[in-house]
Amino acid sequence: MKPRIIKSEERGYANHGWLKSYHTFSFANYYNPDQVNFGALRVFNDDFVAPGMGFGKHPHDNMEIVSIPLEGALEHGDSMGNTTVIRNGEVQIMSAGTGVTHSEKNHSSKEPVKFLQIWVFPDKKGLKPSYGQQLFDISERKNNWQTVVSPKESKDSGVKINQDAWFSLTDLEEGKQLNYEIKKEGNGLWLFVLEGKVSLGEEKLNTRDSMGVWDTKEISIAADQSASLLLIEVPMSFLY
């Protein structure tokens, strides 16, 4: 098992006033040649948007864009005709394919919104754009992996992505241990600690730390204190 760790304070950071964004990988004006991507995982942004503010219409293509609200309500609109609001417990995916424009803004004029914006390279270029959104029962992830994103051809739960990738969430109680087995040979795992403290063998991770591992079939995570975790399984090599 090969580890790659990015501590919370090692992430890129942009403060635009209305938007505060932490970048695990190179994004916009933040560039680190050692932190461009992790296999097919290209962007992992931890965003805070002030009340009443947001991103105006802008284009994307050939990218799978996953949004996971943590607090507040995120309003989405796109050129496919989707207009919706997503909240904590929901997961959204927009497959940009041949090209879409969309906007994202804080639905509230009083409360901030916090969400993760994650980009994954698709398994091929030129796909037809599509949209998916799903509400999950948060109680089902207590000391258990809850799959919230899975491949389109998979029978696993979750919104569907055009890649051999799986996103799983868990709320792990202090003292509990949870294993994860790789679903597809050759894939790697990226773990993000939303809250709490965990151990992977001798490695210790705290809130907002992340760790990537590859060349392994299984990992074991122990909660040193109650923790909320996001685990992303993605191909380490891929072709369009």
Note the pLDDT of residue 2.
72
Percent of the chain with pLDDT over 90: 97
Note the pLDDT of residue 227.
98
Domain boundaries, the chain: 2-235
Percent of the chain with pLDDT over 70: 99
Q: Residue 189 to residues 101, 102, 235: CA-CA distances in angstroms? A: 30, 29, 9
Note the pLDDT of residue 240.
64
Q: What would the CATH number be for the domain defined by 2-235?
A: 2.60.120.10
Supply the DSSP string of 62-81, one letter for each residue.
Answer: S-EEEEEEEESEEEEEETTS
Question: 75 — phi, psi (to 5°)?
Answer: -95, 130
Per-residue pLDDT tens over the stretch 192-216: 999 999 999 999 999 999 999 999 9
pTM of structure: 0.97
Residue 22 has pLDDT above 90, yes or no: yes
Q: Which residues contact 171 (CB under 8 A, 6 or more apart)?
A: 138, 141, 142, 143, 226, 227, 228
- 129-151: average pLDDT: 98
Note the pLDDT of residue 181.
98
- 126-141: average pLDDT: 97
